Amino acid sequence: MIALSANIKKYRLEKEMTQTQLASVFNVSEQAVSRWENGNTYPDIQLLPAIADYFGITIDELMGMENYKDERETDKIMEEVRENDRKGLVSKNIKILQEAVVKYPKNYVLLNYLIHELNFEYSDDEEKLRKNHEKAIEIADRILNECTDQVIRNAANFEKINSLELLGRTEEAIALAEKLPIISMSYEFKLKDLYTGERLKLHCKEALMTYAQNMSGIIERMSDLGFQDESLSIEDRISICKKAIEILNVVYEGEYGNGAWILANKHRYIAAMTVLIGKTEETLYHLEEAAKYAVMHDTLPEKQTLHSTLLSGYEVRKDTLFKNHAFTECGELFDRLKQERYDIVRDTERFKAVLDKITPYVEGV
């Protein structure tokens, strides 16, 4: 009966009673109470109102129905939130989650997701974003002080680091980040030694995608796209960015599924640099590649099976993609192509072909 057995024991212990004492209250044997709590038998249905009244709770609470109803409602909330994330409706999610955590203040999953959305929101209003990140830190500290679930605590700590970074409190972020586990202590790394058979294959494929994307991100970071490292030339940055693509190609072999947006961005970054040094042919090539992957992303099927050597048979799903904006990848590329830097190739047939390729997937054009 849902959670009746566990609840009888829970409320008995809260009253600091023995099974013998509870048995005496309801004129049953100690063995009967023991069987109730072990789930071997249940109290007579006519006895339930008296047990609930004795503990000062409702029958629904005694049966665990309240928790069951709460779980169903929070599951519906999370389902709505995830659907909004796929549409880029982060601001809407923040309102939903803020209301939800008032009703469920101890639901640390909802609280953690609220932190994520506060950090994830995209806005031109810097003051709004600052308040978001400060609120995220406040909630993260609350989770870290109250919650005992280590997985949830790890997620809260990670989001706190993100919040500190976004607020420009870099040294505080570094101090926390330096305490995070090293890669060889991560579950992705260790489970490869523990799993076997199909479980191992699936885990390795997922770990490879995670590591390839993160390694590509690290290499991209080394390319200093913000142009802060004066020791790097544009040619150096381009060469490094190309290595990031090579890493991804080792794993994906050109078939990127729901990671196609990553390639679209990397080729766009390279095109934005090659055009600065007059390499028009190379610029056009990377714009064509950016368009190819932008369209690939914007036309993803609901499900897709990958066929690369390392990921063969792995199924990717469109509904696992989240974003913090409403525009498409083609829309992002379309807007970037308006920049003056591309004037030297704007009148070429290849540039016009890029625009023709992405325009059908650009909203409002």
| 32-48 burial: b if 16+ Cβ within 10 Å, else e | bbebbbeeeeebeeeeb
Gyration radius of the chain's alpha carbons: 27
Angstrom distance (rounded) from CA 57 to CA 67: 13
| Exposure of 226 in the CB half-sphere (CA atoms within 13 A) | 4
CA 231, 237, 241, 247 torsion: positive or negative? Answer: negative
From first to last of its 365 residues, the chain has per-residue pLDDT tens of: 557 888 899 889 988 999 999 999 988 899 989 988 888 888 888 888 889 889 988 887 788 766 556 778 888 999 999 889 888 899 999 999 999 999 888 899 999 999 999 999 988 899 999 999 999 999 999 999 999 889 899 999 999 999 999 999 999 999 999 998 888 888 888 999 999 999 999 999 999 999 999 999 999 999 999 999 999 999 999 999 999 999 999 999 989 888 899 999 999 999 999 999 999 999 999 999 999 999 999 999 999 999 999 999 999 988 777 766 667 899 999 999 999 999 999 999 999 999 999 999 998 66
Q: Domains of the chain, with CATH numbers?
A: 4-63 (1.10.260.40), 76-180 (1.25.40), 188-361 (no CATH)
